[in-house]
Chain A
Amino acid sequence: MFEGVPLTWFLITGTIMFFVGIYGFLVRKNLITILMSTELILNSVNINFVAFNKILYPDHLEGMFFSIFIIAVAAAEASVAIAIIINIYRRLVNINVEKMDEMKY
């Protein structure tokens, strides 16, 4: 309970956000929207980390540091991903994930 807000609330928010992200990842065709879904997933995890940290272990900062690192990794990931997407776009003139199956089998 943090100033009247129970931990579960945070977690439920995070969970919903997480699965919405998953849903987006599975459904959307455009690579950029898939990337956006990934950001949602990462963020939902961040919320959980932070909430656990604050409510269960107020004296520590691990959760926060994890979030910081996740944000950093997310930034790196986003930049590389967008670079790849642009590269793909240049070659195939679209970024539909379903068309990208040349390396199957």
Chain B
Amino acid sequence: MIDFSYTVWILLIPLLMFLVVGLFGNRFKPLVSGIAGTSGLFVMWILSLVTAYKYFFVLEKAADGTFQKFLAFNMRWLNLTDTLHIDMGVLLDPISIMMLIVITTVSFMVHVYSIGYMKDEKGFMRFFAMLSLFSFSMLGLVVATNIFQMYIFWELVGVSSYLLIGFYYTKDSAVSASKKAFIVTRFADLGFLIGILMLSFSTGTFDFLTLTGANSPAFSSGTGIMFLGLSTMTWSMIFIFMGGAGKSAMFPLHIWLPDAMEGPTPVSALIHAATMVVAGVYLVARLFPIYVFAAPVALDVVMYVGAFSSIFAAVIACTQFDIKRVLAYSTMSQIGMMMFALGVSGYSGHEGLGYMASMFHLFTHAFFKSLLFLGAGAIIHAVHSNVMNEMGGLRKYLPITHATFLIACLAIAGVPPLAGFFSKDEILAAGHEKSLMLYWVEMIVSGLTAFYMFRLYFSVFWGKETHYHHTPHEASKTMTIPLMILAVGALLAGLIPFSMFVSSDRMPFQSHLEIGIAIPAVLVGLSGILIAMIFYRKETDLPDRIYNALGGFSKAAFHKFYIDEVYLFITKKIIFNYVSRPIAWFDRHIVDGAMNGVAYVTNEASDRIKRFQSGQLQQYALVFVSGVVLLTLLFTYFWTN
């Protein structure tokens, strides 16, 4: 047995970086904090790679040939009830290690990139402190040993996302976007919390090892019907998925993601493309045995929500003009596909293809999507705008960005042999086995994906010649090198025999390329590219004609199907005006009014009584005399016996 307890340093280094940079960062030059953060990340990256190597290649497998799943580090954090306690620790299994690699790699690249990108910003030090905080929280989330630790880091991830989206805090749109992101995910987290409470109440544990082990109490308890004909366990899993859907921007909790693009672009690349938004996928994957065995209905919910989100977002992405928003909807769509893949998956062996495909896609997506975002960042950096109408013909000015962006677009469009092709093929294969209808939905999604990505690509790098205020120029080395490294990842990541490492039962298996599915998928992707090329390579009025021909539908898609407006209506109108305001009024006037009323009555009564004391001597005398006379009367006539 190899000692893995050093993995705790992967967590502690960014925390330390956060504290040091956050507390003392302003004593040094800004660049120092950037370099400190980046070198910390580098150490973590190396540690993660070493861990992955040791885990997959050195550590012997368990007796039944599966990868081991164990706690590398664990300590008691808080005792709740006799059985329930929160621990803090590091859980190692294939998916957590895969996430470690994804997070540290992307985060490292983003750090390097940010040194260049954020160079002129005032809050450079703050930015790196928050990035470290984010890395800490995200890593804590993926290595969580129990669901409560996951929830804790889940919240921390949310807050670091809040802080980073609101990085440009003097911009009102950034402030409200960060607020929106936090509140929407917070609302989802309420569901997560309720789910945790229900799950832990029926199973008596938070521990992942117990919960997802062979004899999990989750399989036996909580099976009774609770509400609407579903069992407690199903409900708790649906609630937990609600948390995951919030973080992963699944419909209808997706509204924060496009707005979150108000943050600096490296942040979007790190948080809103590669890592945090896939936390929901990771959560479902983490609890996958419970979903499969104890709550299949909840898994169906995951499948439908994922499928619907993917097509929904893909349609919207075709109509947006802000390049970061296109990428945001694309992210949502791709995560929908991952969710869908999890939803169609079975447990072991080839049935668990969906699970593997989902994780695979998560892995590859991290590379090409962060590459896309960083590329978009380089474009924005060059032209100081993020509306694609204001761009065009940039391929001459930004050769490296252009090349890497093209690779990423090809990868996401599923062109072989790039990364996206393999993972998407597995997803479609898994979907094909489960439901033919959803399979075609996903097929359309991949076509749309190719279309909108190349729409973006052509309008930015080809299209009309645009005149810029100052000639755009390629970004500095710190920005282009990460692009190139990630492009290599996007090129090659698909070649990894992923099913040999990650599977739902941790048993390696051999997966094959499904030619019957791969060919139509590639054809659909290529036709998407072709259409985009016809529409956008040269400036034509074709897109507008199509747009107008579709009429109401395209308008609705452009307005993101008015979901934002619905939310605004519910929050602003109903909660704020019709709940909170009446409550404030009620409190001031009814509750407080009752208290003040008591005081008023007392005061008034005493005022009345006080008036008897008129200061009129003769009145007092009259009362006195009348009293005496009355008493005399009483004593002489009535109380005599």
Contacts and interface: CB of A to CB of B under 8 A. Distances in A.
Interface in B403-448: none
B2 interface: no
B615 interface: yes
A81 to B, nearest CB: 13
Contacts of A98: 616, 618
B27 interface: no
Contact of B618 (A26, A104, A105): A26
A49 interface: no
Nearest to B628: A22
Contact of B615 (A22, A27, A101): A101
A74 to B, nearest CB: 18
Contacts of B613: 104-105
A47 B324 CA distance: 115
Contacts of B622: 26
B614 A25 contact: no
A4 to B, nearest CB: 29
A8 to B, nearest CB: 16
Contacts of B618: 25-27, 97-98
Which of B613, B617, B625 has its CB near the most chain A CB atoms (within 10 A)? B617
A94 to B, nearest CB: 15
Nearest to A25: B621
Interface string B133-174: 000000000000000000000000000000000000000000
Contacts of A103: 615
A103 B625 CA distance: 22
B610 interface: yes
A104 B621 contact: no
Contacts of B610: 105
Nearest to A97: B617
Interface in A35-73: none
B151 to A, nearest CB: 64
A100 B620 CA distance: 13
A56 B140 CA distance: 112
Contacts of A102: 615
A66 B613 CA distance: 35
Nearest to B607: A105
Interface in B580-619: 610, 613-618
A20 B504 CA distance: 114
Q: Chain B's interface: helix, strand, loop or mixed, by majority?
A: helix
A45 to B, nearest CB: 14
B603 to A, nearest CB: 14
A18 to B, nearest CB: 11
Interface residues of B, number: 10
A104 B616 CA distance: 8
B120 to A, nearest CB: 74
A: interface residue count bin: 10 to 19
B619 to A, nearest CB: 9
Contact of B614 (A26, A27, A104): A104
A22 B617 CA distance: 13
Contacts of A101: 614-616
A104 B622 CA distance: 17
Contacts of B614: 101, 104
B615 A104 contact: yes
A101 B614 CA distance: 7
Contacts of A26: 618, 621-622, 625
Interface in A70-105: 97-98, 100-105
Contacts of A97: 616-618
Interface string B548-563: 0000000000000000
A25 B618 CA distance: 7
Contacts of B615: 100-105
A101 B615 CA distance: 4
Contacts of A25: 618, 621
Nearest to B626: A26
A22 B625 contact: yes
Contacts of B616: 97-98, 101
Contacts of A105: 610, 613, 615
B165 to A, nearest CB: 64
Nearest to B617: A97
A105 B607 CA distance: 10
Nearest to A103: B615
B421 to A, nearest CB: 95
A41 to B, nearest CB: 11
B515 to A, nearest CB: 103
Contacts of A100: 615, 617
A22 B627 CA distance: 13
A104 B612 CA distance: 10
A71 B621 CA distance: 23
Nearest to A27: B618
Contacts of B625: 22, 26
Contacts of A27: 618
Interface in A1-45: 22, 25-27
A103 B618 CA distance: 15
Which of B610, B615, B621, B622 has its CB near the most chain A CB atoms (within 10 A)? B615
A100 B615 CA distance: 7
Which of A101, A102, A103 has its CB near the most chain B CB atoms (within 10 A)? A101
Nearest to B622: A26
Nearest to B625: A22
A27 B621 CA distance: 10
B402 to A, nearest CB: 92
Nearest to A98: B616
A101 to B, nearest CB: 3
A38 to B, nearest CB: 11
A19 to B, nearest CB: 9
Contacts of B617: 97, 100
A101 B617 CA distance: 8
A84 to B, nearest CB: 13
A26 B615 CA distance: 14
A27 B622 CA distance: 9
A101 B616 CA distance: 6
Interface of A: 22, 25-27, 97-98, 100-105
23 contacts: A22-B625, A25-B618, A25-B621, A26-B618, A26-B621, A26-B622, A26-B625, A27-B618, A97-B616, A97-B617, A97-B618, A98-B618, A100-B615, A101-B614, A101-B615, A101-B616, A102-B615, A104-B613, A104-B614, A104-B615, A105-B610, A105-B613, A105-B615
Considering the complex of A and B, which 5 residue pairs feature the smallest CB-CB distances, nearest first?
A101-B615, A104-B615, A26-B622, A97-B617, A26-B618
Given A97-B617, A100-B617, A104-B613, 9 more contacts: A25-B621, A26-B621, A26-B622, A27-B618, A97-B616, A97-B618, A98-B618, A101-B616, A104-B615
